[in-house]
Amino acid sequence: QVQLAESGGGSVQVGGSLRLSCAASGSPKTIYCLSWFRQAPGREREWVASHKAHGKTDYKDSVKGRFAISRDNGRNTVSLQMNRLKSEDAGVYYCAAGVRTCGVSDYWGQGTQVTVSS
């Protein structure tokens, strides 16, 4: 079992920055992929970025060049640095863990709210 706890959400103006963190507890060393998803009101949850155990990262096209995902295996954390935020980046951000693949998230955090105001 793995427990995920997000932190770092908040309110920011368009163009601002936020850093989200996710702490994994339980058996985090078994995790292959740590990802961030988000869900805006009235919309489906969407994938934002992933960090694989061997270091490869992937990003949703709309956040490339603005967001950066990083992983600290020693501290069992994954972070998402979000820069040049846009109004469409607002939503609840979720940390997710895939034990074997990024295609399937086996564990989810509770989410942290990101509000972007103009």
Q: Region 28-45: what's the mean pLDDT?
A: 90
Residue 29's pLDDT is what?
67
Distances, alpha carbon 68 to alpha carbons 1, 64, 78, in Å: 27, 8, 11
Residue 6's pLDDT is what?
96
Q: What are phi and psi of 9, to 5 degrees?
A: -70, 170
What's the mean pLDDT when you consider all of the chain?
A: 94
Residue 30's pLDDT is what?
74
Q: Region 61-85: what's the mean pLDDT?
A: 94
What's the CA gap between 28 and 96, in Å, rounded? 12
Q: Residues 87-111: pLDDT tens digits?
A: 999 999 999 999 999 999 999 999 9
